[in-house]
Chains A and B, each alone.
Chain A
Amino acid sequence: MFLQKLRYRIFKQNKISFFSSISQKSQSDILNLLKSDKNEVHEGYRIVAGIVLSRTPIILRDPHPFEREYYLYQQRLEHIHAPPFPVDFYFKKGSVAEKKWREKKEREKAEALLAFGSRKTKNKTSFEKIDEEETIDSSDVSSDEEEIKIANRITSADLINDVKSLDRALQRTLYLIVKKPRETHSWQFPQGGVEKTETLVQAANRELEEECGNCMDVWFVGRRPIGYYKYDYPKCFVKENIEYKGAKVFFMAAHIFAGQVKVDNKEIIDFAWVTKQEMKNYVHTEYYEAVKDMLSEH
């Protein structure tokens, strides 16, 4: 049965007739195929394609307090130095829009003057005075315009700290790490061996689908690797497989735009989307040191 299967495999690869007699030369070819498997090997190290799958930041980062103060100061300076606003150019005389604009300006002037305050509020600081007067002016929003609801910058996933969610940490880059079914060095980037008939990107695509499912919309950034990590297999493992001493991992950069990882409990048992700093808590220190320079601080 096994020989039949082997013959069919050779037939598919080399298009040899199924019923023809196998010559001496092709016999040695079959034997060679049996010995070497389809994986790429270099100097005894298995060539492996790793995937650094990242979800890029979705919202603008929060400004540093000093940055915020600087921008406010520059806004004030711009306001002072700006030429006067040409009301007649933007609003037609006697129109409804012009009336609304003038009312808005008067309201703003009154609110600004309130900050100087009366004798009663003299001891309070300026910030406290402003907090007191914080009210919603419904007259600002006209009946024609729809009230735009701005979503929260801190999502529900942030509050629960749901590590599997892609809606967490919208300001940061999230990287995918998967947990392999073993005790040591379990958390790592998805990776798998490169076959002899394929390129690095093809291998990366295939391995990502095998490990994490095909429910993700992923784009690989070019065909060049962004990182390299060489490691030796533990000694007990090496005794069984004499061919490999260890592995040389070439990391490929990719971005996810939609979808989620599917855990099949065969190759991976768990996954997480983490930032560069959070990865230290999951991944082995040696691995992190090798991999951290590829990852973004943003």
Chain B
Amino acid sequence: MLTRSKKLFLYNRYQFLSAVPRIFNKTSLHTYQKSLPPANLPDSPSFYPGRTSILRMEDFYHSTLSTDLMILSYKDPESEQKFIEKRQKEHLPIKKSVLTRDINPFAINRPPPKPRGNKKRLPVPPKQSPKTIPKLLKIDVHCMIKEAIHSKQHLLSGIMALQCITSERPTVVYSKTGVAQWKLRKDMPIGCKVSISGPPMYTFLDKLVEIVLPRMKEWHGIPITSGDQNGNIAMGFPASALSLFPDIEGNYDMFPLMTGFDVIFNTTAYTDYEGRMLLSGFQIPFTPRKKMGRKGRINRN
């Protein structure tokens, strides 16, 4: 049965014939028209349509989750100051001579030198406000296909699968170094990745949470140690998880090679604790710690 809104959509499609894209070449441009039309207009070749509906997960975030996160992630001024100072302290250069940079007139406009050693420097968070409530920025889905070493055609399966899942076209990932043991050379196409944000991200998250994750076998949640200490949480999926997606479930046979993939949730949180809080608000479970003790303690910073 066609609902009223669907009928409206089909009928009125023909009203907007002017919205059909006209192909632009640089030679066909008039003398007064020196540039292509802007990308937000349907005439532009790089036109991307806006959102087509209210997104369930996004609306849930704005109506309920963000308020709860604000309450839970609020730091009293003392502990906030401590946290900012701790992060700022890590940025101090180790060399003493650098501390006199302000006095040395020759060194005024030089770039700040990096501290010695391979120490990880985490970004310094701003003062807390309603704008700094943790939010999902984007999701990166990445697939490494080792079978592509001996035959490049296997890449296609991964690319097709990621495109079906995320509705965005993935890019090919080339190897940065070579490993002779695996017969891998440098700059060899070895995987594919896609970065989604906005409406495709929320629909992907919805699919994950409602359909895929509940059906996964012997999966109890993302390991609680997951995180890059800056609020970005990652998880891996086995090859069997691909068949659980409704986009792939229907025509499973068209994918010759089923590969596992990993999903990285990129958030605006400055700590893993807040990142996990945000994701668990979206109903993604985390496995509890097995060991208690120094490693088992929850680190809120």
Contacts and interface: CB of A to CB of B under 8 A. Distances in A.
Interface of A: 56-57, 60-61, 63, 67-68, 70-81, 89-92, 108, 111-112, 115, 126-127, 130-131, 133-137, 140, 173, 221-222, 224, 226, 253, 255, 296, 298
Contacts of B254: 89-90
20 contacts: A56-B63, A73-B16, A74-B52, A77-B16, A77-B49, A79-B13, A80-B20, A81-B21, A89-B251, A90-B250, A111-B10, A112-B7, A115-B7, A130-B4, A130-B8, A130-B11, A134-B7, A173-B63, A173-B64, A298-B62
B42 A222 contact: no
B99 interface: no
A127 B5 CA distance: 10
A56 B13 contact: no
Contact of B13 (A92, A112, A136, A173): A112
Given A111-B10, A296-B63, A298-B62, A77 B19 contact: yes
Interface in B168-220: none
B206 to A, nearest CB: 12
Given A60-B59, A173-B63, A222 B251 contact: no
Nearest to B3: A134
B23 interface: no
B71 A221 contact: yes
B11 A126 contact: yes
A37 B10 CA distance: 73
Contact of A108 (B2, B62, B251, B253): B2
A134 B11 CA distance: 14
Given A77-B16, A112-B13, 8 more contacts: A63-B54, A76-B9, A76-B12, A77-B49, A81-B49, A90-B250, A111-B2, A130-B11
A56 B61 CA distance: 12
B26 to A, nearest CB: 21
A134 B4 contact: yes
Closest 3 CB pairs of A and B: A298-B63, A115-B11, A112-B10
A160 to B, nearest CB: 25
Contacts of B54: 60-61, 63, 67, 71
Given A81-B47, A173-B63, A137 B1 contact: yes
Nearest to B69: A221
A136 B47 contact: no
Given A76-B13, A112-B11, A60 B56 contact: yes
A90 B251 contact: yes
A124 B100 CA distance: 83
B264 to A, nearest CB: 27
B59 A61 contact: yes
Interface in B38-90: 42, 47, 49-54, 56, 59, 62-64, 67-68, 71-72, 74
Most central of A75, A91, A126 by chain B CB within 10 Å: A75
Contacts of B49: 74, 77-78, 81
A56 B1 contact: no
A253 B42 CA distance: 46
A92 B19 CA distance: 33
A105 to B, nearest CB: 11
B13 A221 contact: no
Nearest to A133: B7
